[in-house]
Amino acid sequence: MRLTSTTKYMLLSDKVVFLTGGTEGIGLECAKIYSAAGAKISIISNSTQSINDAQSKLYGDGILYLKADVSVAADIKQAIAETVAFFGRIDVIHNNAGISNPSKAVHDTTEEEWNALFDVNVKGVYNTTRFGIEELKKTRGNILNTGSLVGDIGQEIHAAYSATKGAISALTKSMALDYAPYGIRVNAVAPAGVWTPMLRVWSQQQPDAASIENYLDDIHALGYCPEGDVVADACLFLISEQARFITGCILPVTGGAELGYRRVINQTIQEKSDLI
């Protein structure tokens, strides 16, 4: 059951959230629910078009849009400074920006592709923490990272991407220990499949694109691949005071996909045995 608008408002009243990758997919759904929960939001994107599109979908006061690349230190240093100048504080840093290309094994991945994945998915967390941690110390705020289930279980022809998400999990736990003395919590969400623009592009790059929708439904034990709002609800919980004694947590938002992968494999084995 989704939270009511009244309940949502109480969760983030007067909080300031620095949200990277907040203009589409999971990030856009997070921006919607954070705003409904009473937060002021600084939304970071490296795309002017994406910012323009988000502005047509997000309503209400208290939203600042900043064009910046999370992989560029100077951009994030400036974005943190502009956020503080505009809102006066930062209570939450949500590291949601990420890329997934290419769909390749390690030996087929170019150095440029490898570096791009790590620069955005991992260095982005480094940059926001490096330039934002002093603000979080002032507010005893928290950090939320968007990871992925594949960082734990791996994924075929996605070695570099899986490696970045594994790094996110390790970073989350280490950062939770480092910043606990300051009252700063650090957590991550780990979705499986979620229908976002990035996933739709990814689905067309797969060897059997025609069957990918059924595959994505099947890997989730609950029987369907969700939209980004299910992840946003979990994110809202983790950055709110309701999760005030939770840190270092990698929260699966998977519909049981870690079980569903086995279900798909077992089904395939059964189909093969039927042919013997």
Residues belonging to the active site: 161
- Asked if 173 contacts 215 with a C-beta cutoff of 8 angstroms, the reply is no
Place of tokens 């299910």: 230
| Burial grade of 14 (CB within 10 A; 0-12, 13-18, 19 or more) | exposed
Number of H-type helices and E-type strands within the chain: 12, 7
**Interior angle at CA 145, CA 196 and CA 192, nearest 5:** 40
User: In the numeric block, which tokens belong to residue 56?
Assistant: 């047509």
- Asked if 257 contacts 154 with a C-beta cutoff of 8 angstroms, the reply is no
* Main-chain phi, psi angles of 161, to 5 degrees: -60, -45
3-class SS of residue 153: helix
Residue 219: HSE in the Cβ half-sphere, 13 Å Cα cutoff:
19
From residue 129, alpha-carbon distances to 102, 221, 253 in Å are 26, 35, 24
Place of tokens 């390790």: 170
Closest CA relative to residue 13, chosen from 236, 265, 251, 226: 236
